[in-house]
């Protein structure tokens, strides 16, 4: 498959990032969780509310026809409103979502690599994420240098050192 276009996420991509938050939360085949349930949860909303504020960065992959098909982004979340993968002040936490039909085609890996490279260029020493332990993306994260730093109930926090 030829490389798909990846562009910087824009302020106008907020609704698409909400879609990708839903995809990230419903990664299991046959999983049914109402969109409104996911997006009304403060735990998920913090990844998209007020998108593209200072400290936010992200990328969107597009199909050959120009349709958005996946996104990876990070936020600098505060200690008093941590995300699932929060490990400390000054460590961006990433989230990634890909439309189901495009999964296992390298879209997630390409987005992850682009975001990690960007975070490194911004001078961050580490980047974190949270993933459910049985999510098939765990193998992607491990292959890209992420390691488990904290185990939770059914989910792990993983970190990649950038320098």
Name the pTM for this structure: 0.92
Higher pLDDT, 22 or 7: 7
Which residues 6+ apart lie within 8 Å of 23 measured at CB? 97, 98, 99, 100
Instruction: Name the percent of the chain lying above pLDDT 90.
Output: 79
Here the CATH number for the domain that contains residue 65 is 3.40.630.30
Domain membership flag for residue 133: no
Give the domain extent around 85. Answer: 6-124
- Which ranges of the chain would DSSP assign to H, the alpha helix? 14-25, 35-40, 42-45, 107-121, 137-143
- Whether 147 has a pLDDT exceeding 90, the answer reads yes
Average per-residue pLDDT in the chain?
92
Q: What is the mean pLDDT of residues 2-15?
A: 93
Q: Is residue 26 part of a domain?
A: yes
What local confidence, expressed as pLDDT, does residue 113 receive? 98
Domains: count for the chain: 1
Strands 155-161 and 57-62: unpaired
Q: Does any domain span residue 54?
A: yes
What is the distance, to the nearest Å, from the Cα of residue 10 to the centroid of all Cα atoms in its chain? 15
């Amino acid at each position: 498959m030829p490389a798909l276009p990846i562009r910087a996420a824009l302020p106008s991509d907020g609704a698409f990032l909400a879609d990708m938050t839903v995809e990230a939360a419903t990664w299991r085949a046959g999983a049914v969780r109402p969109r409104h349930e996911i997006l009304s949860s403060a735990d998920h909303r913090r990844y998209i509310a007020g998108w593209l504020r200072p400290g936010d960065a992200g990328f969107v992959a597009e199909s050959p026809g120009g349709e958005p098909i996946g996104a990876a982004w990070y936020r600098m979340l505060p200690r008093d409103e941590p995300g699932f993968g929060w490990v400390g002040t000054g460590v961006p936490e990433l989230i990634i979502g890909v439309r189901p039909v495009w999964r296992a085609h390298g879209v997630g890996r390409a987005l992850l690599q682009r975001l990690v490279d960007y975070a490194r260029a911004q001078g961050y020493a580490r980047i974190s994420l949270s993933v459910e332990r049985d999510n098939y993306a765990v193998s992607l994260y491990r292959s890209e240098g992420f390691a488990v730093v904290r185990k939770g109930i059914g989910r792990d926090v993983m970190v990649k050192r950038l320098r």
